[in-house]
């Protein structure tokens, strides 16, 4: 810091002391000022955002293949037209992407067939579901992608 001026040394020292004190006060005030982040609002009691669409897709597939709400998809294994649908274990939706999980007996060919079939059924259905989904991803039980098709 450079202090220049006319007068005696006491005035210069007094000015330096005042400046130092003011700087210390500002620095102390800056340290004392803290911002507390606003906590995120969480609602653990509510369902995930995609759950209503996932439920709608599950109802759509079940009703299309004649299954009731509690009936397992595996009841369709061995029945005509039930090749891929009988292996579904769960359905979830993230944004506009549906994730359809299949059991351990599902291979890549069956997974690709399932993603194409589900996307086609949804696209051609004429239901609002066709506007709520953009992609169908079929995964094995570990989450590895077996097939992916745009709706």
7 or 75, which is more confident: 75
106 — pLDDT class (breaks 50, 70, 90): confident
pLDDT tens digits along 59-103: 999 999 999 988 999 988 877 666 899 999 999 999 999 999 999
41 — pLDDT class (breaks 50, 70, 90): very low
**pLDDT (mean) for 19-45:** 43
**pLDDT (mean) for 1-11:** 48
Cα dist from 14 to 3, 6, 7, whole Å: 11, 13, 12
| pLDDT-wise least confident of 24-38, 80-94, 103-117 | 24-38
Q: Crossing angle, helix 51-64 and helix 108-125, to 10 degrees? A: 100
The C-alpha atoms of residue 87 and residue 24 are separated, in whole angstroms, by: 71
Q: pLDDT exceeding 70 applies to what percent of the chain?
A: 66
User: Is residue 32 over pLDDT 70?
Assistant: no
22-31, 80-89, 125-134, range with greatest mean pLDDT: 125-134
- Please say whether the dihedral angle defined by the alpha carbons of residues 52, 99, 90 and 43, taken in this order, is positive or negative: negative
| pLDDT-wise least confident of 22-26, 111-115, 122-126 | 22-26
């Amino acid at each position: 810091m450079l202090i220049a001026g006319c007068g005696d040394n006491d005035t210069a020292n007094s000015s330096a002391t005042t400046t130092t004190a003011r700087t210390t006060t500002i620095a102390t005030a800056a340290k004392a000022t803290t911002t507390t982040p606003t906590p995120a609002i969480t609602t653990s009691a509510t369902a995930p955002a995609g759950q209503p669409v996932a439920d709608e897709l599950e109802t759509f597939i079940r009703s299309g293949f004649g299954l009731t709400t509690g009936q397992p998809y595996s009841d369709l294994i061995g029945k005509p037209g039930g090749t891929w649908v009988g292996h579904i274990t769960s359905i979830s939706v993230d944004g506009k992407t549906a994730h359809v999980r299949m059991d351990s007996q599902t291979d890549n060919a069956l997974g690709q067939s399932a993603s194409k079939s589900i996307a086609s059924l949804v696209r051609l259905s004429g239901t609002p579901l066709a506007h709520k989904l953009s992609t169908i991803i079929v995964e094995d039980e570990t989450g590895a992608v077996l097939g992916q098709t745009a709706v």
